[in-house]
Structure 1
Amino acid sequence: MIKAILVDLDNTLIANPDHAFARAFLEHFQQYLQDTLGITNANALFKEAIHNWAAPTYWTETNQTRLAQLIADQGCVPLEAAVLELMRFYETILPVMATHVQPIVGAASALSSLLDFSLDIVIATNPFYPRVAIEQRMKLGQLPVDAPYAFVTSSEDMHYSKQNPAYYAEVVARVGVEPDEALVIGDHLENDILNAQKTGLHTLHIDGEQIPSFEEAIQRLTQSSDWRSHYSPHTIHPEMIIPQWHGNIAALFALLAKVEDHYWQQHPFDREWSILQILSHLLEAEKSTHRARLQQILAEDNPFIVAPPPPGPDIPIYSDDGYAIAEAFLAERKKTTELIQTLTAKDWERPAQHSIFSKTTLVEMAHFTAQHDRLHINQLCQTLGHCK
């Protein structure tokens, strides 16, 4: 069942000739940082950031922070000053955008029709730019900016680019759906379609021929009243696992950045966990359950795996420092990642018997770890919503 639709922006919802826009953007970017900070190689820094955003590793700093750090290091200024200059730059770039971005006929009305469904709609643009620049392009494309989108991917909120499948895992974790409950609609075969599929999402390709436009895509998609139920869960493949783990960690740290000091130990309701307890549970589960379970399947022939008892409302916390717990959880997840990076195809299919799931395999248990992440990331998101 489809619960969320991720819609690409450039050349799906707005017409934006990529190469011409990129040239104009980089010229403006180079000139601005040379004038303000004396940086003469700003273009090289931006290209380094693009390479960085696609790297298949765990990131806890956002795309914007990592670009700003490159600028800060080169310009010998504090990180905060580099972030400020970046934001000032994006506020001045509208004239450059205006000469390249055009509306696509029918896209705005088709997007509005999607918003009428009980779905989470995500503007899933490549997060090279901050929200202010994305909204500028949306306005130029005559798209609604203040619509009730579930999420708009931007450089200050995201940790990967679309060149990395983990981008899609981060988005679904932020929205609170499973990968096979999400549908991506876009025009770029590699970035929008293949990388989304590698993470386990459904896709609809605007290829310019069979499906020539976003408007046509939505018309075909919604012809049947029960179209959302036409999409079945994907078979779980090993290549889905690490991108999902990467994206989940990124989503977790993105939410932690929104936690105010007095939130950490608050309980949204009686007998529900605080944020510190949620993080402590993730850490303990990684150490004592998730990695141990995979190790048992690798070490034994068709082992019987006993599910741990459900944790109660009074689980202990590991620290009063939420970020310290999150970093400890990340360190444990990296150990689990190292374990699975050397597995063979036969290893992934090793069988086991689970006290709840019955017959299972190592790849299914690794995927369950990703699902467990998302369950508690969603719990954290809901907790933040109630901590007022």
Structure 2
Amino acid sequence: MFKTILFDLDGTLLPMDIKVFLTNYFAKLTCHFTDIDDPSVIQRKVLASTEVMVRDNRPDKTNQDVFMEDFFVRLKQPAERVLPLFENFYNQEFAELICCTSPTPLAKEICQELAEKGYRLVLATNPIFPDVATSHRMRWAGIDNIPWEMVTTYEHCHYCKPNPNYYKEILERIGAKPAETLMVGNDTLEDLVAKKLGIKTYLVTNNLIDHGKSSYDADFEGRLEDFLNYAKTLPKIKD
């Protein structure tokens, strides 16, 4: 029986076309770096440092540490000049990106249904964004007041999807067992890789990100509205 439910955010609880979102994200972010370099160059360097962060497997370095250390070197700029530029972007323009998403009341209804039944909920969004960006997206999705056991952001996590250690770290932190955990997401690699640890998976197909032939098959599959119906069939957790 499940006791813990992990949820992806972008494309799952917060419907969006990720390509449209990222195009607009970089258009707004790089404007803050025009005194340092051309926007296209900044975007390439952000993506390169993000790739380094995603591939890193060191347990003693947070995702933020890995990204920033690499990015400072690529940009050839000190932290005291770079960090305020990111802070200004996330505190100002990032909120405007809600226009690139399609929030649905289903997200809140699903989470409330499970929370009221006693399930432990984790917002298992890929921790490549800071706390402030995740808080914005949670508000857009209408799930900011849900009693999350854990929300994964790059300040606090040491791994990214699709590294299985990302899921292992979550389970260890909250003391959950793989066999009693369900991962709900829309990505056939990043979310379904949780199966490698023995976690059951539910593939949400509304904004499906399909990487083609995969080593992992979903245990369950359906649209977000189907998952709501599934959540309603789950039993209450006894104290």
CA shift for structure 1 position 67: 1.9
Tell me if the contact between 1:29 and 1:42 (Cα under 8 Å) persists in the aligned partners: no
Instruction: Look up the SS of the partner of 2:233 in the other structure.
Output: coil
With over 3 angstroms needed to count, the CA separation of the structure-2 counterparts of 1:85 and 1:213, relative to structure 1, is same
CA shift for structure 1 position 224: 4.8
Q: Does residue 1:217 correspond to 2:220, yes or no?
A: no
With over 3 angstroms needed to count, the CA separation of the structure-2 counterparts of 1:211 and 1:204, relative to structure 1, is closer
Instruction: After superposition, give the CA deviation of every residue in 1:203-240 in whole Å (9 maximum; x if it has no partner).
Output: 11123498543332132244153799xxxxxxxxxxxx
Letter of the 1:137 partner, please give it: R
Q: Aligned residue for 1:155? A: 154
Q: Aligned residue for 2:121? A: 121
Q: Aligned residue for 1:67? A: 67
CA shift for structure 1 position 45: 2.1
CA shift for structure 1 position 105: 4.2
Q: Does residue 1:144 correspond to 2:143, yes or no?
A: yes
Instruction: After superposition, give the CA deviation of every residue in 1:89-110 in whole Å (9 maximum; x if it has no partner).
Output: 2112335412202212422111
With over 3 angstroms needed to count, the CA separation of the structure-2 counterparts of 1:137 and 1:62, relative to structure 1, is same
Equivalences for residues 169-188 of structure 1 within 5 A: 169-188=168-187
Q: Aligned residue for 1:197? A: 195
Tell me if the contact between 2:118 and 2:237 (Cα under 8 Å) persists in the aligned partners: no
1:145 & 1:226 partners in 2: Cα distance?
23
Tell me if the contact between 2:57 and 2:159 (Cα under 8 Å) persists in the aligned partners: no
CA shift for structure 1 position 129: 0.8
Instruction: Look up the SS of the partner of 1:10 in the other structure.
Output: coil
Tell me if the contact between 1:5 and 1:182 (Cα under 8 Å) persists in the aligned partners: yes
Instruction: Look up the SS of the partner of 1:23 in the other structure.
Output: helix
| Structure 1 residues without counterparts, runs of 5 or longer | 229-388
CA shift for structure 1 position 165: 1.9
| Structure 2 residues without counterparts, runs of 5 or longer | 209-219
Tell me if the contact between 1:25 and 1:96 (Cα under 8 Å) persists in the aligned partners: no
With over 3 angstroms needed to count, the CA separation of the structure-2 counterparts of 1:33 and 1:62, relative to structure 1, is farther
Tell me if the contact between 1:107 and 1:215 (Cα under 8 Å) persists in the aligned partners: no
Tell me if the contact between 2:205 and 2:224 (Cα under 8 Å) persists in the aligned partners: no
What TM-score, normalized to structure 2?
0.82
Instruction: After superposition, give the CA deviation of every residue in 1:114-157 in whole Å (9 maximum; x if it has no partner).
Output: 1112222011111121111111122222x131332101111111
Equivalences for residues 181-330 of structure 1 within 5 A: 181-193=180-192, 195-208=193-206, 211-225=221-235
Tell me if the contact between 2:7 and 2:184 (Cα under 8 Å) persists in the aligned partners: yes
Larger helix proportion of the pair: 1
With over 3 angstroms needed to count, the CA separation of the structure-2 counterparts of 1:215 and 1:197, relative to structure 1, is same
Tell me if the contact between 2:60 and 2:158 (Cα under 8 Å) persists in the aligned partners: yes
CA shift for structure 1 position 184: 0.3
Tell me if the contact between 1:168 and 1:196 (Cα under 8 Å) persists in the aligned partners: yes
CA shift for structure 1 position 187: 1.4
1:95 & 1:178 partners in 2: Cα distance?
36
1:83 & 1:172 partners in 2: Cα distance?
31
Q: Aligned residue for 1:13? A: 13
Q: Aligned residue for 1:299? A: none
Count of matched residue positions in the alignment of Structure 1 and Structure 2:
224
Q: Aligned residue for 2:216? A: none
1:213 & 1:104 partners in 2: Cα distance?
13
Tell me if the contact between 1:185 and 1:204 (Cα under 8 Å) persists in the aligned partners: yes
- Report sequence identity in percent: 25
Task: Give RMSD over aligned pairs.
Answer: 2.5
1:199 & 1:49 partners in 2: Cα distance?
27
Tell me if the contact between 1:68 and 1:86 (Cα under 8 Å) persists in the aligned partners: no
Letter of the 1:192 partner, please give it: D
Instruction: After superposition, give the CA deviation of every residue in 1:292-319 in whole Å (9 maximum; x if it has no partner).
Output: xxxxxxxxxxxxxxxxxxxxxxxxxxxx
Q: Aligned residue for 1:90? A: 90
Q: Aligned residue for 2:102? A: 102
2:78 & 2:122 partners in 1: Cα distance?
33
Q: Which has the higher contact order (CA 8 A, sep 6+)?
A: 2
Instruction: After superposition, give the CA deviation of every residue in 1:252-286 in whole Å (9 maximum; x if it has no partner).
Output: xxxxxxxxxxxxxxxxxxxxxxxxxxxxxxxxxxx
What TM-score, normalized to structure 1?
0.53
Letter of the 2:197 partner, please give it: T
